[in-house]
Amino acid sequence: MSNRIITISREFGSGGRTIGRMAAQKLGIPCYDQELIEKIAQESGIVKTYVEEKSENIEGGWLSFAVGRDYYGHSLQDDLFRAQTKVIRELAEKESCVIIGRCSDYILRDFDNVLTVFIHASMEKRAERIVTQYGETEKDPVARLKEKDKKRKAYYQLYTDRQWGETENYHIALDSGALGLDRCAEVIASLY
């Protein structure tokens, strides 16, 4: 297999998605992010809005974990993860690309041609960025970030045996707030 894949895991508001697109552009390979949603929806037969909302986030806590499970402990969320796994593995087998989020680092853990990246930034820098990117809401940006962090973490930990954001899971982790998006994209492209 001669494809080479970059997976970008990222904290909400860290600019990881933008960095992934920039690195892909530098390397002349496609970047999959929103495009995955379409593919996962097709594969699973689950409606796109549900895929969009639930393909990286779950509500934390045992109650929400239990809700929506059938007699065998199986849920729509599990179907979604199975479809997501299939779509991401097929992509990685088909072509060189950048894949944003969706536990792709874990899903491709037995592929030896993957560069796994984690992008993070301080709460302050991320709050600044989400207000610029997505506008103000009634909710304080720091509270929005904390809620999103919690959901992504819970999702990652439900479907993998790893802790989200731990250095050991990634070949490279970068602080985009301190280094800037451009330099992060350059470093990633240079390691490819």
Q: Do 142 and 130 form a contact (C-beta atoms < 8 A)?
A: no
- Quote the least distance from Cβ 157 to a second copy, whole Å: 16
Q: What residues between 89 and 118 interact with a second copy by CB under 8 A?
A: 118
3-state secondary structure (DSSP) of residue 175: strand
**Is 167 a binder of a second copy (CB under 8 A)?**
yes
Q: Can you give 96-158 as a three-state secondary structure string?
A: CEEEECCCHHHHCCCCCCEEEEEEECCHHHHHHHHHHHHCCCCCCHHHHHHHHHHHHHHHHHH
Q: Do 117 and 171 form a contact (C-beta atoms < 8 A)?
A: yes
Which range binds a second copy by CB under 8 A, 26-34, 50-58, 84-92, 163-171?
163-171
Question: Which CB atom, from 52 or from 149, has the smaller least distance to a second copy?
Answer: 149
Member of 10, 120, 129, 144 binding a second copy (CB under 8 A): 120
**Is 186 a binder of a second copy (CB under 8 A)?**
yes
Site residue total, a second copy (CB under 8 A): 20
Under the rule (CB under 8 A), what is the footprint of a second copy?
Answer: 118, 120, 122, 165-168, 170-175, 178-179, 183, 186-187, 190-191
